[in-house]
C-alpha cells in the first residue's frame, strides 16, 4: 500500500496522531499499566488508564512529525483533574523507525502555562515546553500515579 502525503516527505496528520497514540500505549504497557485506547476520530480522550479498581485517568495524545507546536484548539480551557496531555514529537524523523520520539506528559491542570494564542488558533508552544517543561519530559510515572502529578 502506497502512503499518500500531504506534502513531500510529510506524513498525513492522522497517521502521525495514530502512530503517537500507539507509541504511548506501547510504552504504558511496557511499564505495566492497564491502558486502553478509545476508538473514534474526533475525541478528546485517546487512552484510559486504570490505576487501581475505581480509579482511572484519561489521556489526550497529540503528535507532530517535526519540531513544531502542537495544535490546541480542541483542548478544553477549563482544567480537568485526572486528565493528561501527552505530547509526542518525532523531531523530523517520523519515517525513521529506529528513532524514538520525544514525549512530554503534562497534567491538564498545567497545560495553560504552555498555550500560545495566535490569531484564530491556539497551540501548545514547543519553545515554552522546552524552557519551562523539563519536568514533564518522559514523566510516565505521573500517569502511573508513582510520581509528582503536579
CATH of the domain at 69: 3.40.1350
What's the pTM value of the predicted model, to 2 decimals? Answer: 0.88
Residue 25 structural domain:
13-138
Number of separate domains in the chain: 1
Say yes or no to pLDDT of 30 above 90. yes
In a domain, 91, yes or no: yes
In a domain, 147, yes or no: no
In a domain, 7, yes or no: no
Q: Are 79 and 112 in contact (CB under 8 A)?
A: yes
In a domain, 4, yes or no: no
In a domain, 148, yes or no: no
Query: To the nearest whole percent, how much of the chain has pLDDT over 70?
Result: 89
Say yes or no to pLDDT of 10 above 70. no
Amino acid at each position: 500500500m502506497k502512503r499518500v502525503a500531504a506534502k513531500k516527505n510529510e506524513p498525513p496528520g492522522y497517521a502521525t496522531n495514530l502512530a503517537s497514540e500507539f507509541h504511548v500505549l506501547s510504552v504504558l504497557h511496557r511499564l505495566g499499566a492497564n491502558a486502553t485506547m478509545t476508538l473514534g476520530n474526533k475525541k478528546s480522550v485517546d487512552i484510559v488508564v486504570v490505576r487501581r479498581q475505581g480509579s482511572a485517568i484519561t489521556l489526550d495524545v497529540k503528535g507532530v512529525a517535526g519540531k513544531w507546536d502542537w495544535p490546541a484548539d480542541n483542548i478544553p480551557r477549563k482544567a480537568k483533574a485526572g486528565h493528561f496531555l501527552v505530547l509526542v514529537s518525532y523531531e523530523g524523523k517520523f519515517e525513521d523507525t529506529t528513532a524514538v520520539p520525544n514525549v512530554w506528559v503534562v497534567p491538564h491542570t498545567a497545560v495553560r502555562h504552555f498555550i500560545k494564542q495566535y490569531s484564530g488558533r491556539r497551540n501548545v508552544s514547543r519553545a515554552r515546553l522546552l524552557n519551562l517543561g523539563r519536568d514533564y519530559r518522559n514523566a510516565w510515572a505521573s500517569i502511573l500515579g508513582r510520581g509528582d502529578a503536579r
